[in-house]
Amino acid sequence: MTKQERANYIHQRLEKLFPVTPIPLDHKDPYTLLIAVLLSAQCTDVRVNQVTPHLFKVADTPEKMSKISVEKIKEIIRPCGLSPRKSKAISDLSKILVKKHKGQVPESFEELEALPGVGHKTASVVMSQAFGHPAFPVDTHIHRLAQIWKLTKGKNVEQTEEDLKKLFPKDSWNKLHLQIIFYGREFCPARGCDGLRCELCKEIYPKRKTAIMRNKS
């Protein structure tokens, strides 16, 4: 198969495996999604979903969050890890949303990425899942699988994102990035597949005999 043929095959198989792609992080609006995504850095979605109800019970809008001390936020989100950094980012970005954006999460990459603690991946998730704009957030699952499937030679998630956007239709990005994540978690985890074991890897590369060495992001 050529790279494009592999991409097309993978897309078709993922559509059959995951026709429905619920958003993994519990939220009710763009703001609560933004906070949940920020908390998910180096933390599982399951853990985030356990913590956010406690946080959002105390404050679920930028106005309310901006009035809470950083220490209080840190105490609540501690189970998610990196709580000193994340709590300050949550407090600071909430104040900025109130002062500069009338309490609303901005609907642009530039304005989102200007917020404290919000990188390109977080902005991509919000643009995709909160606002429906085409985006292809690349996490470690996607970066790893894209290398195993030889859809990219990217040494970082930025290059992998660029390569994947060229291979898949723009109107598929929002759903597809979740499909790849779901596939990685269920069938091709980092410690369970090296390009030789899961069904999709074997279907794409039936003659592959050597484990894939990956470029870490």
Catalytic positions are 121, 139
Name the nearest CA neighbour of 174 among 165, 166, 183.
165
Q: Which phi and psi angles does 115 have, rounded to 5°?
A: -80, 145
Q: How far is CA 111 from CA 27, 29, 101, 191, in A?
A: 21, 18, 10, 37
What's at 141, amino acid-wise? H
- Nearest Cα to 22, choosing from 137, 174, 160? 174
Within 8 A by CB and 6+ apart from 114, the residues are: none
CA 208 to chain centre: 29
